[in-house]
Amino acid sequence: MNKAFTKETDSDDDDDDLPQAAGIPAGSKNYITPEGYARLRAELMHLIDVDRPQIVDIVHWAASNGDRSENGDYLYGKKRLREIDRRIRFLTKRLEIAEVVDASQHAGSDQVFFGATVTYIDDLDGVERTVTIMGIDEADNAQQQISWVSPVARALVKAREGDEVTLQTPAGIRTLEIIEVRYPEPPAI
């Protein structure tokens, strides 16, 4: 059968429940820092204003060249357009349910909340670690940032400096001693 009469399908194109499937607990909000929200919004606007129009132009040009079944520019362009559209849908949904939390409102507090940078000692190996509790869409393990839904963050939240909290792991229960809690300074007015 000629490819012109076949339907292109994307099995992973069904992303109606995407925000819940991507790690946000049911009934929870998508907590995010103001900086993380700005980064996601900037990415969305770049996709809409720059990337998508460029790819649409390429696909339009490639389609005008004739036989589309063997036209690499056309096939790649259509695939790239589907990827961009999927990312636009994802970002739009994530930003719609985003709850921007300014961690600097807790500056000076010794209790752990979203946005805190926490230094703790793990009793298992005695190593001191420092992590920052961030949103799901912005956490980067390479930068010592953990998602607020991670087991470590859930164990630390609402504890105070000097507290010991327990963390259930597959290897058993571990105890984390909180050494320091810091927040970003509020912006100067």
Question: Taking the domains of the chain in order of start, what are their residue ranges?
Answer: 29-100, 106-182
Give the whole-angstrom CA distance, residue 179 versus residue 143: 19
CATH number listed for the domain at residues 106-182: 3.10.50.30
Give 80: exposed, middle or buried? Use CB within 10 Å, 0-12, 13-18, 19+. middle
Name the class of domain 29-100.
mainly alpha
The tens-digit pLDDT sequence of the chain (189 residues) is: 455 544 455 444 444 444 444 577 777 778 999 999 999 999 999 999 999 999 999 888 888 887 777 778 888 999 999 999 999 999 999 999 999 999 888 888 899 999 999 999 998 888 999 999 999 999 998 999 999 999 999 999 999 999 999 999 898 899 999 999 999 888 766
Give the whole-angstrom CA distance, residue 24 versus residue 12: 19
Exposure on the CB side of residue 126, measured as CA atoms within 13 A: 0
| Residues composing the chain | 189
Q: Which two tokens stand for residue 184?
A: 């970003």
Task: Supply the pTM of this predicted model.
Answer: 0.76
